[in-house]
Amino acid sequence: MSDARLDNSLPLIHAYLDGELDTAETLAIEQRMVEEPLLAAERERLETLHRVLQEKLPRDTAPPDLRRRIERSIGLQAASSRPSWRALAASVAVVAVVASGTTWAVLQPQRGGDIADAVVSDHVRALMAPQSSDVLSSDRHTVKPWFNGRIPQAPRVVDLSSQDFKLVGGRIDVVERVPVPSLLYQRREHLISVTAVPKKDAASTRTRRTVGGYNIVAWKDDEVSYWATSDLNQKELDEFAAAFRAAP
Q: Are 68 and 89 in contact (CB under 8 A)?
A: no
- Classify 215 in phi/psi space as left (phi over 0), alpha (psi -120 to 50) or beta: beta
- Distance between CA 240 and CA 229 in Å, rounded? 11
Nearer to other proteins, 57 or 106 (CB): 57
Least CB distance from residue 135 to other proteins, whole Å?
A: 11
Least CB distance from residue 95 to other proteins, whole Å?
A: 6
DSSP 8-class letter at 182:
E
Least CB distance from residue 159 to other proteins, whole Å?
A: 17
Give the dihedral sign, CA 113/114/119/121. Answer: positive
Nearer to other proteins, 150 or 209 (CB): 150
Nearer to other proteins, 113 or 152 (CB): 152
Q: Are 50 and 56 in contact (CB under 8 A)?
A: no
User: Residues in the site for other proteins, rule: CB under 8 A?
Assistant: 6-7, 10-11, 14-15, 18-20, 37-38, 40-42, 44-46, 48-54, 56-63, 66-67, 69-71, 73-76, 88, 91-92, 95-96, 148-150
Nearer to other proteins, 52 or 127 (CB): 52
- Distance between CA 190 and CA 186 in Å, rounded? 6
Least CB distance from residue 168 to other proteins, whole Å?
A: 21
User: Bridge partners of 154?
Assistant: none
- Distance between CA 214 and CA 164 in Å, rounded? 20
Least CB distance from residue 57 to other proteins, whole Å?
A: 5
Q: Find the farthest-apart pair of alpha carbons in the chain and give their distance in angstroms, rounded.
A: 70
Nearer to other proteins, 22 or 221 (CB): 22
